[in-house]
Amino acid sequence: MHSAPRLTDLAHGGGCGCKLAPSVLQSLLARQPAAQPFAQLLVGSDMADDAAVWQADDKTCVIATTDFFMPVVDDPHDFGRIAATNAISDIYAMGGRPIMALAILGMPIGKLSPETIARVLEGGARICAEAGIPVAGGHSIDSVEPIYGLAVIGLCSPENLRRNGGARSGDALILTKGIGVGIYSAAIKKNALPEGCYAEMLASTTLLNRIGADLAGNPDVHALTDVTGFGILGHGLEMARASGLTLEIDLAALPFLAHAESLAREGFITGASHRNWASYGAEVDLPGGLPDWQRLLLADPQTSGGLLIACSGEKANSIRDTIRAAGYPLVSIVGKASEGPARIIVRG
């Protein structure tokens, strides 16, 4: 009797590492016809923001997003939890609160049992329950590789809407979760993840970014985005472009998962890290002599990563402490925004 295949063996990539390289995505979007203008569409695809936003009336904005990917772990229930947490994050990253989700499911029916597929859906539903929203429907197909995610709808008031643009010169940058999920996923595929690291990774990737909705009510918080497949450098660069500023990242202040740096030194780097760096490395200044493993760690694709926050420099310590008290133990002040061209400067 044949044993069931590992989920990660059925996929050529996993998690947010499956995303198209930033340069490829930009090329595809540049070829699309100009969108018809709608006054109610406050956020579209023009600035690479986390979700679309439609202003329904003077008091309500509707936020819509979709996110799905292939397995980053082998446990089907955990895969569902991670994918759902990641998808809902886009709503929080815009300052909104989710109200419902639709499931997106593609599975190789001849290779995975109905019980395994059901566990994926159960994991996603569990996270939606934690977020206080229903899975109200969805769509499924028979596909070559396993795929799962959500389309999510949320709401916010217009004054609480936060975009990846809006950072101001002098703002502090705060990151709410540790970096290294892509490194850990590469080690999982090679059965080389150290003991204890799976639980650490799962705790991070299933931690909802619900703090974003609370932060959006704070006028000292000027910009929000979540750090996912393009890594801290890629999503930081999107904030820099949208805000028209230079972002300075303090390498020593960045939080990492416990074994991310040691595993990166050992060569557990995803292909997405290389694609990410090739796409945007020309817009990043690194310290002299930075080793390749460290450079690629900064481009590491994060699945269900943390929020990158631009806030008043004077209030940064207080905001960081509030986030930590809300259950984000690795939250750190990691840099600042300053006048200058839209690029990233990494300080050693």
Q: Catalytic residue numbers?
A: 16
How many Å apart are CA 264 and CA 186, to the nearest integer? 10
Distance from C-alpha of 265 to C-alpha of 296, rounded to nearest angstrom = 10
- Contact, 242 vs 164, CB < 8 A? yes
Determine the Cα–Cα distance for residues 226 and 235; give it in Å rounded to an integer.
Answer: 7
∠ CA 157-38-309 to the nearest 5 degrees?
40
CA distance 244 to 233: 16
Amino acid at 26: Q
**What stretches of the chain show up as alpha helix (H) in DSSP?**
22-30, 76-93, 114-131, 181-189, 197-205, 211-215, 231-243, 260-265, 271-280, 292-298, 316-325
Determine the Cα–Cα distance for residues 64 and 222; give it in Å rounded to an integer.
21
Dihedral of CA atoms 285, 290, 296, 301 in degrees, nearest 10, equals -60
**What are residue 69's DSSP bridge partners?**
148
- 278 is written with which tokens? 């090739």
* Residue 88 burial (C-beta neighbours within 10 Å; 0-12, 13-18, 19+): buried
**CA 241, CA 156: separation in Å to the nearest integer?**
24
First-last CA distance in the chain: 55
Cβ neighbours, 10 Å, residue 160? 20
